[in-house]
């Protein structure tokens, strides 16, 4: 131990066994490192170094507490090295959890988490809190529930880490030895000189849920009920959070088991409502570019016109954005119906039937042009997102394509992706863009969507016939679902001069349709074309046979 410096560095070895690889994080009284267990090659450990006298005592108390615990959501203690005298360092060696903190996940999701995702995490926390509070000889009060103290591993399991301020509950004790906690998440009694108990952690759970569902606000600072911030939240869940955040412990839920039971009931009710809603809701298909310029809008329009050719009723929608394009692409000033109002216009909340702009089997739903959007009253981002998405879900169409461009990480687009049944990403031959940091981030998001049960498809756009085409396709993230041909620039220009979509031009329409029909046949549900049981089915059989 004497050879170890105050700050460990890569290559240092602790106890002749743990080789330090990197710094993971640093707090007020401790530093955490990633290490390799040399006795188990390839096995990673987390080494927590406490570097102040108070930290050393806290580290020893944490070690004594954790060695008694055995729960799937708690890391195991592997080793402990104590100081021989005051002022020296203590080292706590724990299982290394590969993943990210809940705070990192929250930030990566644009500081917005769907209520269903928050509820699933809360259920896992209820399980571990129930264990800590009720299944040990000396109940443990954690006292510091916050996003940075929770890890999410690659299997979506939530891990409770950092027991630095946890304490054992003592019946009859009037006050904690040290009143402590994190402002924004700590219960009132933690700062009022009173003893904390199981209900203190339940307050922390409520504060955590409020933070995640409010876009990162604290209940005591915001001073608003969750439903005031987002009217789309399930009312029962918002009421449960409000109950957990009561100032008096007697007014809260009294045990983690009680909270778990209420969450399970609410989730069961919500799933039943979602199931009934899905029976009426259209099938949402999100179409996005893996990077700027790949051609998400071109692909979305090609799919829309192919569906029109098949006789499948559908809509193509564009989310509200800074630079909306669909209205101009469709030559809205020329082709939109008289008195047409875009579905995203806030004033008067126009019904979608009033916004009807149909072209055969396609219902066009462009976002309001920038000048019109600027005149609309300002709305909170969450409310605006909920409004346009609710309108799409209320459509009386079996299928809705949504062109999200390359804005995958916008919080309202993430809400859309959470309810979309199919997710389509578009790539083009510019292979250097696959190495962009933004592209890697979107590929990670697509991986997470797949893991969540979404069907994800890749479309290769601007495909040219070349002896090297196979090499291009071979380096894509996966074999593409279909190949859209490159369209001659003159044909695109001619269509624009004539005020038409190039996807509707003779020859090109058939070329694009043949490219996408086999893929559409692989996933398009029967209900999408069942409305016209005669004509649409005959068209499908004919075109798929010839395609």
- Are 298 and 332 contained in the same domain? yes
Residue 41: count of CB within 10 angstroms of its CB? 7
Q: Which of residues 225, 248, 276 is at a domain's end?
A: 276
- Are 318 and 445 contained in the same domain? yes
SS3 373: helix
Burial label for 539, CB within 10 Å (0-12, 13-18, 19+), is middle
**The sheet that has 482-485: what strands, in order across it?**
358-359, 362-365, 314-317, 399-405, 283-289, 422-427, 455-463, 482-485
- Are 497 and 359 contained in the same domain? yes
Q: Which of residues 95, 111, 130 is at a domain's end?
A: 95
| Per-residue pLDDT tens digits of the chain, which is 547 residues long | 445 556 788 999 998 999 999 998 876 667 889 999 999 988 999 998 876 555 455 556 666 777 778 899 998 888 888 754 434 678 889 889 888 899 988 888 778 788 888 999 999 999 999 999 987 777 888 888 999 889 998 888 999 887 655 554 445 444 444 446 578 888 888 876 677 888 999 999 999 999 999 889 998 888 889 988 876 788 999 999 999 999 999 999 999 999 999 999 998 888 777 666 556 678 899 999 999 999 999 999 999 999 988 888 899 999 998 889 999 999 988 888 887 888 887 443 434 544 578 888 899 999 988 655 554 444 444 445 567 888 888 887 889 999 999 999 898 899 999 999 899 999 999 999 999 999 999 999 999 998 888 889 999 999 888 888 888 888 888 888 889 999 999 999 999 999 999 998 988 988 898 888 888 877 776 555 544 444 444 544 444 444 3
pLDDT of residue 88: 66
492-520 burial: b if 16+ Cβ within 10 Å, else e: eeebeeeeebbbebeebbeebbebbbebb
Query: Per the domain annotation, does 348 fall within a domain?
Result: yes
- Are 219 and 308 contained in the same domain? no
- Domain coverage including residue 334: 281-546
- Are 263 and 289 contained in the same domain? no
Question: Which residue is catalytic, options 2, 130, 138, 144?
Answer: 144
- Are 406 and 441 contained in the same domain? yes
CATH of the domain at 46: 3.30.200.20
Query: Per the domain annotation, does 4 fall within a domain?
Result: no
- Are 19 and 105 contained in the same domain? no
- Are 62 and 148 contained in the same domain? no
Please name the residues in contact with 405: beta carbons below 8 A apart, sequence gap of 6 or more. 288, 289, 296, 297, 321
Please name the residues in contact with 424: beta carbons below 8 A apart, sequence gap of 6 or more. 285, 286, 287, 288, 299, 303, 456, 457, 458, 459, 481
- Are 169 and 295 contained in the same domain? no
Q: Mind spelling out the 3-state secondary structure of 179-227? A: CCCCCCCCCHHHHCCCCCCHHHHHHHHHHHHHHHHCCCCCHHHHCCCHH
**DSSP E strand stretches across 382-498:** 399-405, 422-427, 455-463, 482-485
- Identify the residue whose tokens are 């469709």: 330
Taking the complete model, does pTM exceed 0.75, yes or no? no
pLDDT of residue 85: 41
- Are 37 and 154 contained in the same domain? no
Q: Which residues are registered as beta bridge partners of 49? A: 31, 91
Q: How many domains does the chain contain in total?
A: 3
Active site residue 435: no
- Are 262 and 125 contained in the same domain? yes
pLDDT of residue 55: 47
Q: Which of 361, 347, 358 is nearest to 310 (CA)?
A: 361
Q: Which structure tokens are listed for 448? A: 């997470």
Alpha-carbon gap, residue 18 to 95, rounded angstroms: 12
Q: Is the CB of residue 231 less than 8 Å from the CB of residue 383? A: yes
pLDDT of residue 279: 64
Q: Which of residues 95, 129, 164 is at a domain's end?
A: 95
pLDDT of residue 528: 54
Q: DSSP characters for 80-139? A: EE--SSTT--EEEEEE---EEEHHHHHHHTTS---HHHHHHHHHHHHHHHHHHHHSSSS-
Burial label for 533, CB within 10 Å (0-12, 13-18, 19+), is exposed
Please name the residues in contact with 222: beta carbons below 8 A apart, sequence gap of 6 or more. 214, 229
- Are 312 and 208 contained in the same domain? no
Alpha-carbon gap, residue 310 to 541, rounded angstroms: 9
CATH of the domain at 154: 1.10.510.10
pLDDT of residue 544: 41
CATH of the domain at 374: 3.40.50.300
pLDDT of residue 545: 45
Q: Is the CB of residue 213 less than 8 Å from the CB of residue 226? A: yes
Residue 322: count of CB within 10 angstroms of its CB? 8
- CA–CA distance from 383 to each of 218, 230, 297, 320, 324 (Å)? 18, 6, 25, 13, 19
Q: Which of 394, 371, 386, 274 is nearest to 319 (CA)?
A: 386
């Amino acid at each position: 131990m004497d050879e170890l410096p105050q700050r460990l560095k890569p290559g240092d070895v602790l106890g002749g066994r743990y080789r330090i690889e990197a710094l993971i994080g640093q707090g007020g009284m401790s530093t955490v490192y990633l290490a390799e267990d040399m006795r188990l090659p390839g096995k990673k450990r987390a080494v927590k170094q406490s570097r102040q006298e108070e930290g050393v005592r806290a580290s020893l108390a944490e070690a004594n507490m954790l060695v008694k615990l055995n729960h799937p959501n708690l890391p195991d203690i592997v080793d402990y090295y104590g100081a021989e005298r005051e002022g020296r360092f203590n080292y706590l060696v724990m299982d290394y959890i590969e993943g990210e903190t809940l705070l990192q996940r929250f930030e990566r999701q644009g500081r917005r988490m769907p209520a269903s995702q928050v509820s699933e995490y809360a259920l896992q926390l209820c399980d571990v809190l129930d264990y800590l509070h009720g299944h040990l000889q000396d109940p443990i009060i954690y006292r510091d529930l916050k996003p940075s103290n929770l890890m999410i591993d690659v299997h979506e399991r939530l891990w409770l880490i950092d027991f630095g301020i946890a304490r054992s509950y003592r019946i009859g004790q009037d006050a904690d030895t040290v009143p402590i906690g994190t402002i924004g998440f700590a219960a009132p009694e933690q700062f009022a000189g009173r003893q904390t108990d199981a209900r203190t952690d339940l307050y922390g759970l409520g504060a955590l849920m409020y933070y995640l569902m409010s876009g990162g606000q604290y209940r005591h600072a915001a001073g608003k009920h969750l439903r005031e911030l987002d009217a789309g939240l399930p009312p029962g869940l918002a009421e449960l959070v409000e109950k957990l955040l009561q100032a008096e412990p007697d007014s809260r839920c009294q045990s983690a088991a009680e909270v778990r039971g209420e969450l399970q009931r609410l989730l069961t009710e919500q799933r039943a409502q979602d199931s009934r809603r899905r029976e009426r809701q259209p099938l949402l298909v999100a179409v996005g570019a893996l990077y700027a310029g790949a051609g998400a809008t071109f692909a979305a329009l090609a799919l829309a016109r192919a569906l029109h050719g098949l006789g499948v009723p559908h809509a193509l929608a564009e989310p509200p954005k800074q630079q909306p394009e669909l209205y101009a692409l469709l030559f809205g000033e020329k082709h939109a119906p008289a008195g047409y109002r875009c579905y995203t216009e806030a004033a008067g909340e126009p019904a979608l039937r009033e916004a009807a702009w149909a072209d055969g089997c396609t219902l066009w739903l462009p976002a309001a042009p920038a000048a019109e959007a600027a005149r609309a009253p300002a709305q909170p981002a969450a409310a605006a997102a909920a409004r346009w998405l609710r309108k799409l879900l209320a459509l009386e169409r079996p299928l809705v394509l949504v062109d999200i461009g390359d804005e995958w990480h916008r919080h309202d687009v993430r809400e859309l992706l959470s309810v979309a049944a199919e997710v389509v990403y578009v790539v083009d031959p510019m292979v250097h863009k696959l190495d962009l940091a933004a592209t890697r981030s979107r590929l990670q998001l697509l991986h997470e969507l797949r893991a969540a049960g979404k069907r994800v498809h890749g479309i290769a756009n601007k495909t040219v016939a070349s002896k090297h085409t196979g090499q291009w396709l071979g380096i894509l993230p996966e074999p593409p679902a279909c190949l859209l041909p490159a369209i001659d620039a003159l044909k695109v220009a001619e269509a624009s001069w004539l005020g038409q979509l190039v996807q509707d031009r003779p020859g090109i329409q058939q070329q694009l349709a043949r490219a996408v029909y086999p893929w559409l046949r692989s996933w398009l549900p029967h209900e999408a074309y069942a409305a016209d049981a005669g004509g649409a089915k005959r068209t499908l059989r004919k075109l798929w046979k010839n395609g």
